[in-house]
């Protein structure tokens, strides 16, 4: 799948579910629970054991029906390994210019984490496709709106603190997508994968409502 198709796919879905677990088996079950609930863009964090194996397994099972990325990528070596394992986008907690460059070399979506205007501009100048605003819960949706004033061209994806209840606020503030962590996958830590699916369904329903409200206002 070409990079522009992955980019458009993330914008269309509007949500990236973060998969982070204490074992590869738990990660796979959390991922499958998210997919069953309708969230089909997933980031597998490299703090998960055998992240590469999880990426390969999910790619084999779902092909291109699921947009699959690697998260918590700190360097080019990790990014390259993730790409070879099937990652279509690379997400980092900070701005690593060399990793962004590698992603552009292989035409894989680059989504570095940033918080300040300086970091965001640095990421964009290096070739970032989407900037993950992290940790977004520190300042809330109002911060996204404030960033958009001087940087209207910046595609921002707040991550951290996104819930079903505040989802509309993030998009009203100018987010192009959101990253969703524990508010989605939290029950997976205790093996309650049915609850993960239920939460995914709730997010998907809320996203549909956000889209509907936007279309009616235009």
Average pLDDT, the chain: 98
**Has residue 218 got a pLDDT over 80?**
no
* Per-residue pLDDT tens over the stretch 105-131: 999 999 999 999 999 999 999 999 999
How many angstroms from the chain centroid is the CA of residue 84? 19
Contacts of residue 79, Cβ cutoff 8 Å, sequence gap at least 6: 70, 73, 90, 99, 102, 103, 108
Q: Token pair for residue 116?
A: 């300040």
Which residues form the domain of 201? 3-217
Contacts of residue 134, Cβ cutoff 8 Å, sequence gap at least 6: 93, 113, 114, 115, 158, 159, 160, 179
Helix/strand/coil (H/E/C) assignment for every residue in 168-193: HHHHHCCCCCEEECHHHHHHHHHCCH
* Per-residue pLDDT tens over the stretch 132-169: 999 999 999 999 999 999 999 999 999 999 999 999 99
Please state the rounded mean pLDDT for residues 158-181: 98
Cα separation, 79 vs 94, in Å, equals 13
Q: What is the pTM of this model?
A: 0.97
- Number of folded domains that form the chain: 1
- Position 104 confidence tier, pLDDT thresholds 50, 70, 90: very high
* Per-residue pLDDT tens over the stretch 8-19: 999 999 999 999
Helix/strand/coil (H/E/C) assignment for every residue in 84-98: HCCCCEEECCCCCHH
**Has residue 103 got a pLDDT over 90?**
yes
**Has residue 216 got a pLDDT over 90?**
no
- Position 217 confidence tier, pLDDT thresholds 50, 70, 90: confident
- Position 187 confidence tier, pLDDT thresholds 50, 70, 90: very high
In this prediction, residue 215 carries a pLDDT of 85
Please state the rounded mean pLDDT for residues 59-65: 97
What positions carry a catalytic annotation?
43, 132
Residue 143's domain is classified under what CATH number? 3.20.20.70
């Amino acid at each position: 799948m070409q990079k522009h198709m992955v980019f458009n796919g993330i914008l269309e879905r509007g949500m990236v579910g973060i998969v982070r677990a204490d074992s590869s088996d738990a990660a796979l079950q959390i991922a499958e629970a998210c997919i069953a609930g309708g969230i089909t863009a997933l980031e597998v964090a490299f703090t998960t054991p055998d992240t590469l194996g999880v990426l390969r397994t999910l790619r084999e099972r779902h092909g291109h029906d699921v947009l699959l990325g690697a998260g918590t990528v700190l360097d080019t070596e990790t990014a390259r390994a993730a790409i070879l394992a099937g990652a279509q986008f690379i997400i980092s907690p900070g701005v690593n210019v060399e990793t962004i460059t590698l992603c552009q070399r292989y035409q894989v979506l680059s989504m570095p984490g940033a918080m300040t205007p300086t970091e965001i501009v640095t990421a964009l100048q290096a070739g970032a496709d989407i900037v993950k605003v992290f940790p977004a819960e520190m300042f809330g949706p109002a911060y996204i709106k404030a960033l958009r004033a001087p940087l209207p061209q910046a595609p921002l994806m707040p991550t951290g603190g996104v819930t079903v209840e505040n989802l509309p606020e993030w998009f009203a503030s100018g987010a192009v997508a959101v990253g969703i962590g524990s508010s989605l996958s939290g029950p997976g830590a205790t093996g309650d994968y049915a609850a993960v699916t239920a939460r995914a369904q709730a997010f998907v329903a809320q996203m549909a409502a956000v889209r509907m409200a936007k279309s009616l206002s235009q």
